[in-house]
Structure 1
Amino acid sequence: MDVVGHYSGGDENVRMALDRNRVEWDRTCELLARWLPAPPATVLDVGGGPGRQSRHLLDRGYDVTLFDLTPKHVDQATARGVRAHVADARQLPVDDTSADAVLLLGPLYHLPDAGDRARALAEAWRVLRPGGVAVVAALSRWGRVFVRAAAGQLGDPDRHRHTLATMRDGYVGAGDTWDEVAYLHDTHELAAELTAAGLHDVTVVGVEGPAGAWARRDPALNAHALELARIAEAAMAETSIHLLARGVKES
C-alpha cells in the first residue's frame, strides 16, 4: 500500500485532535505512563506521525526521537520541536541497544505482510537496551464487529461480507470503507509476534474498550467509554478498535 500517499493527502494532526478520538488518545497516554520507564529515558517513536505523542512525552521529560515514512509528518513533528527523521520501521538508522523504549503505534497495521511486521519488531528489539520496553499498537480484528454495530451496519449484506472476510484473514482494504490495505490482529497473534521477535513479559490490552466504537460516533459518551475501557482492558480487549501490547527485552 502507498502509506506515504495516504497520509500526505490528509492531516493526521486534525484527525487525532477530534473529540471522536479522545478515548484512544487518553487511554494510550495512560498506558504509556504505566509501561514506559521513568524520564529522562530515551524513547524512539517509530511511525510517530506528526509528533503529537512525541511532544507529549518530551513535555514530560523524555528524550524522544521520531521516525516516520512520510516527509510531511516529519516536517510537522519538527515544527512541534520534535527531533524527527524520515525512516522505515523495518530499517532504522539507529545503533544497536541505544534506546530505553520503542513505540510502534502505527506501523504494524500498515504492514499486511507478516515478514514485514517481523522485520519491524526485530528492529525494535535490536535498538532496545537490555530491559528496554517496546509498546506496539494494532487494530483489533474483532473490534470491526463493534465498529459495524455502532454504525448500524450489521444488516448491510456488503458490510457483513467484508467483516466476515476480515475475521477470516485479518485484511481490510479496497472494496471496504478504507482506501488502504491494513492488517488487523487478534490478541493471541499480536502477543505471538512480539514473542517471536524476542520480547518477554508480553501484555496485550484493549485501548478504547467495548463502548469505544459508540463514543467515536457520539463524543458525549467519552467519559463512560473511558471508564469501561479501564475496567475491561484485559477481559474484553478484542472489543476495542485498537490493541496495545507491551514487551520487554530480556536483561
Structure 2
Amino acid sequence: MELTQAELDAKIHAYYGSGDEDARLTSRSAGGQVEFMRVRSVIEDRLPARSRVLDVGGATGIHSRWLADAGHHVSLIDPVPSQVELAAEVGTFDAVVGDARSLDVPDHAVDAVLLLGPLYHLADAEDRRLAIHEARRVLRPGGLLFAQGISRLVGFVDGAVHGQPADLTSADLDIVRTGAWINPAEGFPGGHFHTPAELRAEIEQGGFVDVTVRGLEGPNLGALELMRGDRQVLECAIALVEAAEDRVRHSVDLQDKLAAYSPHLLAIGTLPGT
C-alpha cells in the first residue's frame, strides 16, 4: 500500500509525538550514541565560533542544547508541536513549529543549517529538493549545510549480522533499487533511504559545493550494543571509523563504499560565496 506524503506526515507526528528522540541518541542503543557523538564532532570541527544556527527538524533540541551551550545563537524548527514544547522549555534557544519545505526565516539569515532528519522522512524527491532549497535560501554565502540520510543498506546489514539474510523479499530488494519505503504499520515512519552518491548529488544539485558524505557509525555490528554506555569503547569505535575515512580520502568512490555500511549518512556542503 502506497501512502502520500500527507499520510506520512501524519505518521511522523504520531511517532515522534509519543517518542523520545533524546533517548534514541543518548541511551537506547550504542549506534544512537555513536551517531550523536559523531554528528557533534563533525559540526564542532566545521562551525565557526558564535555562529547563527538553524536546527531544522531538531526534535526536542538534542543538538540545539549543546550548540547553544557552546555560544552559538540557535533557532530550532520542528513539525511536531509536542517536541517543540519540550525544546522551548530548555530556554537557551528559540523553538517554533515549522516545515523544512517552507521555512519562516529571512533570506541569508544564518551561518549553518542542520537537516538531521527531514530528508529521510521526505519520500518524494521534489520535497527533498524544496527542503534543500530552503536551507540554501536562509544561509549566508559561505554558510554550511549539515544534512543527514539513512543508508539503503541499513536493514540488510542488520539481517546479515543477525543471520537472517534468507528472509529478504523482492520488496526488500526494491528498497535497494529505489530507496523508497514508507511503513504502513506503526513504528518508524520511513520515507526515503539514500545511497551516499545520491545524497551527495541532491546536495550538489541544491547549489552547494565541496560536498562530502560520511558514514556516521561505521559498519552496523551488533556486538557494539554490548558496549552501550561505555563511552571509552564508543570513542574507540569512532576513532576506527575516522581512521578508515582518512585512508580513503583520496577517492570519492571508496568514501561512498565505506559510508554505505553505516546506518546514517551525513553530508556536509558549503554555499558558494564569501
> Same fold, TM exceeding 0.5?
yes
Tell me by how many angstroms 1:168 deviates.
1.2
User: Could you list the runs of 5+ residues in structure 1 that have no partner in the other structure?
Assistant: none
Contact 1:200-1:249 within 8 A present in 2 as well: yes
1:72 to 76, 79, 82: 82
Contact 2:150-2:265 within 8 A present in 1 as well: yes
1:245 aligns with 2:248: no
Tell me by how many angstroms 1:83 deviates.
0.9
CA distance in 2 between partners of 1:214 and 1:163 (Å): 24
Tell me by how many angstroms 1:216 deviates.
4.2
Tell me by how many angstroms 1:249 deviates.
0.8
Tell me by how many angstroms 1:242 deviates.
0.4
Equivalent position of 1:50 in the other structure: 60
CA distance in 2 between partners of 1:55 and 1:95 (Å): 23
Tell me by how many angstroms 1:160 deviates.
4.6
Tell me by how many angstroms 1:224 deviates.
4.3
Equivalent position of 1:229 in the other structure: 241
Alignment of 1:1-251 (within 5 A): 1=8, 2=10, 3-18=12-27, 19-20=29-30, 21-36=32-47, 38-81=48-91, 82-155=93-166, 157=167, 159-174=168-183, 178-211=187-220, 214-216=223-225, 219=228, 222-233=234-245, 234=255, 236-251=258-273
Tell me by how many angstroms 1:189 deviates.
0.7
DSSP 3-state at the match of 1:250: coil
Tell me by how many angstroms 1:161 deviates.
4.1
Computed over aligned residues only, the root mean square deviation of the Cα atoms, in angstroms, reads 2.0
CA distance in 2 between partners of 1:122 and 1:241 (Å): 25
Contact 1:66-1:83 within 8 A present in 2 as well: yes
Contact 1:210-1:225 within 8 A present in 2 as well: no
CA distance in 2 between partners of 1:240 and 1:177 (Å): 24
CA distance in 2 between partners of 1:246 and 1:46 (Å): 15
The aligned amino acid for 2:82 is: K
CA distance in 1 between partners of 2:154 and 2:226 (Å): 15
CA distance in 2 between partners of 1:217 and 1:194 (Å): 35
DSSP 3-state at the match of 1:232: helix
**For each residue in 1:66-99, what CA deviation from the matched residue of structure 2 results, as whole angstroms up to 9, or x when unmatched?**
0000011111111122310000000001000011
Percent sequence identity over matched residues?
38
The aligned amino acid for 1:152 is: G
DSSP 3-state at the match of 1:40: coil
CA distance in 2 between partners of 1:180 and 1:217 (Å): 27
CA distance in 1 between partners of 2:150 and 2:222 (Å): 13
User: Could you list the runs of 5+ residues in structure 2 that have no partner in the other structure?
Assistant: 1-7, 246-254
The aligned amino acid for 1:76 is: L
The aligned amino acid for 1:64 is: V
Report the TM-score, using the length of structure 2 for normalisation. 0.84
The aligned amino acid for 1:226 is: I
